[in-house]
């Protein structure tokens, strides 16, 4: 059944992942606010969710991105009228799991919606709280120059089609770490009133806000991490309700019935204690952090990175396994439940707060000597070990040497450790300068830094020199040539 007027197959992650996008009106691509809704074999409740979005009263261009991994299309029977809306764009994808699908949706927005400024979400069994909530929050967020990268509103609660008196608002105390820990402890004890208002998160397009691959409550993990680690670039709206959250929704009921519901919340509380400087109180695993590729756990004296990457393939892992000694963990790789895991011993290291030029030179020299490049350069991905830089992000961002990759790496190292650029600002800048030599030349002092490192290594190793050619070409012999001499 064809509903949409336009469709396009798009490739993301450097062509390693494809999905199909369909829409009705080209103006949807001009949207500034994108509402993401995951669709998975939904029932009649999806019609209310769709209507609450497409009937928004707002002057702000917005789109509803439906990310659909359903095997059947029966859910469309409940959405026939809504699906012809000009604000809807539909993405058909394979089944990936909730966290990876949310991250994929954010990536689609980043690459396909050129004018998108903000991403928010709505579950397919919930509703937006009012008909003007998108307008209200967007106007309050203001222009992009105010430094706000994420925002959190509240939600009302509905159960069995009855609106409850209790609301879950984004109160100002959530900016206090001690209060966040109290809420997380309550969640770990099963207190429903302690749940964070995580379904009401707004993310600025391009900001690195990644949902971790955990068994349950991935949205609470992300929001707790933002409140604890990135409160300086966040904003709370205690007076605005973003959504009407349905406690009797299918997703909520499935999660509550699973033992993972409590286990994930208990692990979140343990990990948050660790993030805020607390010690390890048991032998249970704590999460050290996560990114686009995977989640890093520490249990006893072992570190395990569990990959959820869509682009890490077997051939790249084989290449990583055969690498010589480098300034990064030497991991043991294995496949657990169909996904790669890298395990290595915990080693005492220090934060990469102050990094000297000799440290940078030694790190670059090792990369050149072993013909390896690290592309995911952020301060948080480095530690100091034995007075040297030590890169802790193993995975698909560690690649074989190419000059264009090497120059990118050097530019990022210079920005972070010489100019003091923050990780968040670097992520935004990278979209403009990756593989752009002219843009890199504009960075103050980078060209001198880059050429100094090249010339120093060439002097000792010759990594950038072309192979020597024989000055005397080999002699050729032609048997069928006759020399005629004329007198």
Per-residue pLDDT band for 477 (boundaries 50, 70, 90) equals low
Pairing of strands 62-68, 33-39: parallel
What is the CATH topology of the domain spanning 350-460? Answer: Transferase(Phosphotransferase); domain 1 (1.10.510)
DSSP states along 161-224:
TEEEEEEE---GGGGSHHHHHHHHHHHHTT-GGG---GGGEEEETT--------SS-HHHHHHH
Token representation of residue 353: 């707060």
Contacts of 396 (CB under 8 A, 6+ apart): 293, 309, 311, 312, 316
Q: What is the pLDDT of residues 283-332, one digit of tens each?
A: 889 999 999 899 999 998 899 999 988 788 899 999 999 998 899 999 99
pLDDT at 116: 96
What are the angstrom distances between the C-alpha of 382 and each of 77, 203, 416?
Answer: 51, 26, 11
Flag whether pLDDT at 91 surpasses 70. Answer: yes
Tell me the pLDDT of the chain averaged across its residues. Answer: 88
Average pLDDT over residues 263-290: 89
CATH number of the domain at 6-263, out of 3.40.640.10, 3.40.50.300, 3.40.80.10, 3.90.550.10? 3.90.550.10
Scanning the structure block, which residue is given the tokens 């789109």? Answer: 63
Portion of the chain with pLDDT greater than 70, in percent: 89
Flag whether pLDDT at 484 surpasses 70. Answer: no
Query: Which residue did the predictor score with more confidence, 416 or 257?
Result: 416
Q: Report the predicted TM-score, pTM, of the whole model to 2 decimal places.
A: 0.87
Contacts of 245 (CB under 8 A, 6+ apart): 123, 126, 155, 156, 157, 158, 168, 199
- Domain span(s) for CATH 3.30.200 in the chain: 266-345
Asked if residues 174 and 217 have their Cβ atoms less than 8 Å apart, the reply is no
Of 310, 302, 301, 268, residue with least CA distance to 286: 268
Asked if residues 390 and 327 have their Cβ atoms less than 8 Å apart, the reply is yes
Architecture of the domain spanning 266-345 = 2-Layer Sandwich (3.30)
Asked if residues 367 and 463 have their Cβ atoms less than 8 Å apart, the reply is no
Asked if residues 217 and 264 have their Cβ atoms less than 8 Å apart, the reply is yes
Helix (H) / strand (E) element for 316: namely helix 314-321
- Domain span(s) for CATH 1.10.510 in the chain: 350-460
- Domain span(s) for CATH 3.90.550.10 in the chain: 6-263
Tally of CA atoms within 13 A in the half-sphere of 170 that contains its CB: 27
Contacts of 281 (CB under 8 A, 6+ apart): 270, 273
Flag whether pLDDT at 252 surpasses 90. Answer: no
Flag whether pLDDT at 111 surpasses 80. Answer: yes
Average pLDDT over residues 72-101: 88
State the Cα–Cα distance between residues 260 and 250, nearest whole angstrom.
16
pLDDT at 278: 80
Of 381, 185, 369, 368, residue with least CA distance to 268: 185
Asked if residues 46 and 64 have their Cβ atoms less than 8 Å apart, the reply is no
Q: What is the pLDDT of residues 326-383, one digit of tens each?
A: 999 999 999 998 899 999 999 999 999 999 999 999 999 999 999 999 999 999 999 9
């Amino acid at each position: 059944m064809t509903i949409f007027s336009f469709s396009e197959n798009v490739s993301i992650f450097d062509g390693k992942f494809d999905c199909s996008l369909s829409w009705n009106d080209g103006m949807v691509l001009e949207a500034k606010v994108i509402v993401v809704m995951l669709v998975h074999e939904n029932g009649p409740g999806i019609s209310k969710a769709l209507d609450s979005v497409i009937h928004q009263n707002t002057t702000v261009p917005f789109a509803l991105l439906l990310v659909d991994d359903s095997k059947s299309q029966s859910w469309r029977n409940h959405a026939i009228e809504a699906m012809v809306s000009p604000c809807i764009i539909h993405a058909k994808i394979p089944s990936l799991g909730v966290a990876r699908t949310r991250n994929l949706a954010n990536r689609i927005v980043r690459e396909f919606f050129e004018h998108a400024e903000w991403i928010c979400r709505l579950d397919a069994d919930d509703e937006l709280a009012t008909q003007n909530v998108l307008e209200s929050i967007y106007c309050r967020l203001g222009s992009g120059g105010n430094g706000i990268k994420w925002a959190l509103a509240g939600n009302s609660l509905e159960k069995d089609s009855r609106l409850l008196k209790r609301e879950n608002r984004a109160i100002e105390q959530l900016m206090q770490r001690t209060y966040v820990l109290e809420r997380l402890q309550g969640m770990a004890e099963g207190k429903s009133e302690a749940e964070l208002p995580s379904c009401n998160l707004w993310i600025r397009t391009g900001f690195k806000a990644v949902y971790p691959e955990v068994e349950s409550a991935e949205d609470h993990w992300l929001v707790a991490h933002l409140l604890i680690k990135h409160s300086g670039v966040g904003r709370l709206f205690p007076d605005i309700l973003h959504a009407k959250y349905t406690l009797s929704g299918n997703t909520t009921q499935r999660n509550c019935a699973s033992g993972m519901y409590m286990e994930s919340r208990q692990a979140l509380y343990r990990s948050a204690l660790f993030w805020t400087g607390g010690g390890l109180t048991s032998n249970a695993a704590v999460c050290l952090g996560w990114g686009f590729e995977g989640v890093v756990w520490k249990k006893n004296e072992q570190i395990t990175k569990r990959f959820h990457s869509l682009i890490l393939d077997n051939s790249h892992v084989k290449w990583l396994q055969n690498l010589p000694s480098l300034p990064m963990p030497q991991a043991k790789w294995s496949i657990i439940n169909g996904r790669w895991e890298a395990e290595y011993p915990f080693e005492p290291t220090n934060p990469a707060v102050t990094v000297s030029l000799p440290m940078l030179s030694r790190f670059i020299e090792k990369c050149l000597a072993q013909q390896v490049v690290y592309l995911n350069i952020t301060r948080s991905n480095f530690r100091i070990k034995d007075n040297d830089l030590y890169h802790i992000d193993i995975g698909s961002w560690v690649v074989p040497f190419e000059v264009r990759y090497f120059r990118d790496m050097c530019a990022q190292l210079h920005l972070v450790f010489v100019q003091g650029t923050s990780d968040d600002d670097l992520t935004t800048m990278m979209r403009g300068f990756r593989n752009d030599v002219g843009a890199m030349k504009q960075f103050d002092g980078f060209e001198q830094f880059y050429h100094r490192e090249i010339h120093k290594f060439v002097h000792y190793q010759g990594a950038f020199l072309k192979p020597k050619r024989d000055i005397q070409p080999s002699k050729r012999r032609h048997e069928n040539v006759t020399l005629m001499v004329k007198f």
